[in-house]
Structure 1
Amino acid sequence: MGRQSSKSMRRIALRAGFVLTLAVAGALAFVKFEYGGGTLYPDIGSDNPQGLTKLEKLIQLDYPPGNVAVAPNGHVYFNYHPIARAGRFSAATMFEWADGKITPFPSMESQRDFQGSFGMTIDHQNRIWLIEPASLDFQHTRLWAFDLTTRERVAYFEFPGKEAQFAQDLRVTADGKYILLAHTGILRFTAPKLIVYSVEDHSFRTALAEHPCTLPENWLMQTPFGVYRMGYGLVNVAAGLDGIEISPDQKWVYLAGMTNSHLCRAPLSAVVDKTLAPSDVARKVEVLGPKPMSDGITVDTAGHVILTDVEHGGLMAFDPETKDIKTLVRSRDVIWADGVAAGPSGSLYFTDSALSAYMGQFAGPPPRDRLLARQPYFIYRLKP
């Protein structure tokens, strides 16, 4: 009787294991079908040899840079990309470049307080704002501001719970009253949204959510290493609302999802209006025209929207008036054109985070030897 019972239990266990294997295989097949398909994105740009003559490797670094901001006096502020987790190997992760010299910003002592900033921007009040999303396994998303002259911290806010968990980029209205946050979501699993934070009363709200202009589309992003996938090929890298910018006249908020094929805009007055629901703002969104698979965004002195071209290692300029887009520069040396900022002289600065060269299959911290293999890393300047 005991022997029969043991055989019966083994048969049950084998059947359960078989059923579990089928279930896992079915789940993986569903994920691959739902999130691993897609189409190669057409190249909407072109080579620009003249642009290459104006491109210089301005700042050389030991670890990959993430974002960049340029002050009116020409000082350049940048960070190490948080996905690289360079803080494991470097005493500082946030820097200022001035007159050819790099120094930790705002100080070496403050570096231990940072957990990994993504977006950064300089406002009209001479403050630099940083956003540190909770998506990197941190408890709360944190918002910082430092005065560029005194180097003192002038603002700080922690979002409660998992609010603004995937906030990766930010811009400040000219009056300094509102911070706009681009919340990307995670791949195509969670929806992106545009968040507005009030500096005066620390309240925040969703201004736009699940609009076609903010959602990732089902494109296959190409890199120098092939199509960019994660989860050992099961999931394509797809990101929604990743880049935002405010027009110089403060009339528009430009919206640029990384794997979204179109540049869009919404009236700034509607975005910051607390009486409007996200659906009301959605009805005011305007599709401007096609754009590259992009990461960073800025506006140049002529009012053109500048977008990084991730797939082709460069920059493209979109004219909001004519709806024309053109390639400013593309370089085979650039692996991942990431953050971009306009300088006071008309120059454009952008980082090569080389993200696809070291990012793990599950976005875990890359080993040091993988980071060292790609040294040196660069911040580029495109002269006007």
Structure 2
Amino acid sequence: MKFDRYAAAATAAALLAAWPGLAYGQTTYDDASPLPEERSIGHIEAVHEFYGAMPSGVAKAPNGRLFVNYPRWGDDVPYSVGEIVDGHVVPYPNEQINRPDPTHPATSLLSVQNIVADYRNRLWILDTGAPKFAPPVQGGAKLVAVDLTTNKVVKTIVFKPNVLLPMSYIDDARFDFRYGKEGVAYLSDSSPSGPGGIIVVDLASGDAWRTLEAHPATQGDPSFIPVVEGIEMMEDGPDGRPQPVRLAADGLALSPDGDILYFSPLSSRHLYSVSTKFLRDRNAEDGEVEASVRDLGEKGASDGITSDANGAVYAGDYERNSIRKMLPDGTWVTIAHDPRILWPDALSIGTDGYLYFTANQLNRQAQFNHGRDLRKKPYTLFRIKINAQPLQLKP
């Protein structure tokens, strides 16, 4: 039989028209067949769902109690610190202290950004004193310690004007209780309009001082534009044009020996470190402090970071819906990747071997979406098993 190439070509064209997938190697076509999807990594568990205000911080105390906080950024926030009890969040330590009172700013919680539980079962509350990112209320920015046995405030440290600048926004806190009479705290100033920096606090006297102020490592990357959920995260500038989000030093973590403070600007993908020896020394020259700063390379864009007793550092990656872990040798691994991790914020390690973190959809707020609030409730508190203990630097 003579081969008719024109007839063969016509037949092939008819087959391809009927089964377009054949052109790409597909042998069958089924509308019900699932298409490939982005895979998840690790196993995250939902601990609590929030149907009210957006949370930011979380703290898992050694005695097992679980706390969250809500900054007053614009949502209706009935209380800025709460405890999760039997599936419900209740104001902590009481309703009265959670009623913001600008006339008594030192004794009421104005806008809490972060909370940390220490080895003595005290909850440290970091109050920015700056609702809606406004300039801090004079006398309102403070550290408050609550004894979890008595549920009473046992210490309040109010920051003085020379420590808290007109546009400061204190964001994170880490503690080392081995120095001085009661220990020291390291705070980050993530001011959106600068200068950012690191604040050191003597917990006994309440004396505090700023360091690495306006240093390039604490200010963030001026060329950084985050891409979250596939969209460049920008906010409308004064002229109506989109402009990058600029936030300085944010997440903090300590090394197991307390000699190194890790920090990360929100507007950056890099992790930095600095020697705490020079941070604690008020007489150290600026050049000594700056000379001890190290750029440890990219880790992903993070809001919160923390560390465990073995020396591993954990960081959220809000661009990739992930939680990452830096091993002691400096390499990074992804321990959780899940589409539900919508902006991982604060991280807290419990004595139960779990890493707790909030996913609060921060990037979906109206200010980053031309005035449209795209957040979808609930916000979620997750945890993932890491089989490690929290770092507690005891005297």
TM-score, reference length from structure 1: 0.78
Cα deviation code 1:321-371 (max 9, x no counterpart): 3210111112212321111111112211110121121242599xx89xx48
In 1, Cα distance between equivalents of 2:295 and 2:368: 33
Q: Indicate if the aligned counterparts of 1:214 and 1:260 stay in contact, CA closer than 8 A.
A: no
Q: Which residue number in structure 2 is paired with residue 297 of structure 1?
A: 305
Tell me how far 1:207 sits from its aligned partner. 2.5
Q: Does 1:262 align with 2:270?
A: yes
Q: Choose the corresponding residue for 2:40, options 49, 61, 73.
A: 49
Q: Which residue number in structure 1 is paired with residue 286 of structure 2?
A: 278
Q: Does 1:377 align with 2:364?
A: no
Q: Indicate if the aligned counterparts of 1:79 and 1:94 stay in contact, CA closer than 8 A.
A: yes
268-277 or 134-143: which moved more?
134-143
Secondary structure of residue in 2 paired with 1:154 = strand
Q: Choose the corresponding residue for 1:93, options 67, 80, 94.
A: 80
TM-score, reference length from structure 2: 0.76
Q: Structure 1's 337 and 84: CA in aligned 2 closer, same or farther, altered over 3 A?
A: farther
Which is helix-richer, 1 or 2? 1
Residue type of the alignment partner of 2:340: D
Q: Indicate if the aligned counterparts of 1:206 and 1:278 stay in contact, CA closer than 8 A.
A: no
Q: Which residue number in structure 1 is paired with residue 339 of structure 2?
A: 332
Q: Choose the corresponding residue for 1:114, options 106, 109, 129.
A: 109
Q: Which residue number in structure 2 is paired with residue 169 of structure 1?
A: 172
Secondary structure of residue in 2 paired with 1:219 = coil
Residue type of the alignment partner of 2:40: P
Q: Which residue number in structure 1 is paired with residue 61 of structure 2?
A: 71
Tell me how far 1:74 sits from its aligned partner. 2.3
Q: Choose the corresponding residue for 2:358, options 335, 351, 370.
A: 351
281-290 or 374-383: which moved more?
281-290
Residue type of the alignment partner of 2:127: E
Tell me how far 1:286 sits from its aligned partner. 2.2
Residue type of the alignment partner of 1:227: E
Q: Which residue number in structure 1 is paired with residue 329 of structure 2?
A: 322
In 1, Cα distance between equivalents of 2:280 and 2:148: 26
In 1, Cα distance between equivalents of 2:278 and 2:40: 41
Residue type of the alignment partner of 2:229: P
Aligned residues: 325
Q: Which residue number in structure 2 is paired with residue 195 of structure 1?
A: 199
Q: Does 1:229 align with 2:234?
A: yes
In 1, Cα distance between equivalents of 2:314 and 2:96: 35
Q: Indicate if the aligned counterparts of 1:265 and 1:286 stay in contact, CA closer than 8 A.
A: yes
Q: Which residue number in structure 2 is paired with residue 148 of structure 1?
A: 148
In 2, Cα distance between equivalents of 1:152 and 1:330: 39
Query: What is the correspondence of 1:6-85 to structure 2 with a 5 Å cutoff?
Result: 49-51=40-42, 54-62=43-51, 63-85=53-75
Q: Which residue number in structure 1 is paired with residue 209 of structure 2?
A: 205
Residue type of the alignment partner of 1:198: D
Secondary structure of residue in 1 paired with 2:216 = coil
Q: Indicate if the aligned counterparts of 1:123 and 1:173 stay in contact, CA closer than 8 A.
A: no
Q: Structure 1's 287 and 174: CA in aligned 2 closer, same or farther, altered over 3 A?
A: same
Q: Structure 1's 327 and 346: CA in aligned 2 closer, same or farther, altered over 3 A?
A: same
Residue type of the alignment partner of 2:226: M
Residue type of the alignment partner of 2:174: R
Residue type of the alignment partner of 2:119: H
CA RMSD of aligned residues (A): 2.4
Tell me how far 1:195 sits from its aligned partner. 0.8
Residue type of the alignment partner of 2:54: P
Query: What is the correspondence of 1:358-373 to structure 2 with a 5 Å cutoff?
Result: 358-360=365-367, 370=373
Q: Indicate if the aligned counterparts of 2:194 and 2:219 stay in contact, CA closer than 8 A.
A: no
Residue type of the alignment partner of 1:341: S
In 1, Cα distance between equivalents of 2:83 and 2:286: 37
Q: Structure 1's 210 and 180: CA in aligned 2 closer, same or farther, altered over 3 A?
A: same
Mind listing any 5+ residue stretches in structure 2 that lack a counterpart?
A: 1-37, 100-107, 387-395
Q: Which residue number in structure 2 is paired with residue 129 of structure 1?
A: 124
In 1, Cα distance between equivalents of 2:149 and 2:264: 31
Tell me how far 1:99 sits from its aligned partner. 5.4
Residue type of the alignment partner of 1:177: G
In 1, Cα distance between equivalents of 2:366 and 2:220: 20
Secondary structure of residue in 1 paired with 2:73 = helix
247-256 or 122-131: which moved more?
122-131
Cα deviation code 1:88-139 (max 9, x no counterpart): xxx3331112554532211223221221111221233322222222443341
Secondary structure of residue in 2 paired with 1:209 = coil
Q: Indicate if the aligned counterparts of 2:260 and 2:276 stay in contact, CA closer than 8 A.
A: yes
Secondary structure of residue in 2 paired with 1:110 = coil
Tell me how far 1:86 sits from its aligned partner. 2.8
Residue type of the alignment partner of 2:260: W
Return the index of the structure with the highest Cα Rg: 2
Tell me how far 1:268 sits from its aligned partner. 1.9
In 2, Cα distance between equivalents of 1:57 and 1:362: 27
Q: Structure 1's 162 and 334: CA in aligned 2 closer, same or farther, altered over 3 A?
A: farther
In 1, Cα distance between equivalents of 2:342 and 2:40: 18
Whose relative contact order is higher, 1 or 2, with alpha carbons under 8 Å and at least 6 apart?
1
Q: Indicate if the aligned counterparts of 1:337 and 1:352 stay in contact, CA closer than 8 A.
A: yes
Q: Indicate if the aligned counterparts of 1:66 and 1:82 stay in contact, CA closer than 8 A.
A: no
Secondary structure of residue in 2 paired with 1:197 = strand
Q: Indicate if the aligned counterparts of 2:269 and 2:302 stay in contact, CA closer than 8 A.
A: no
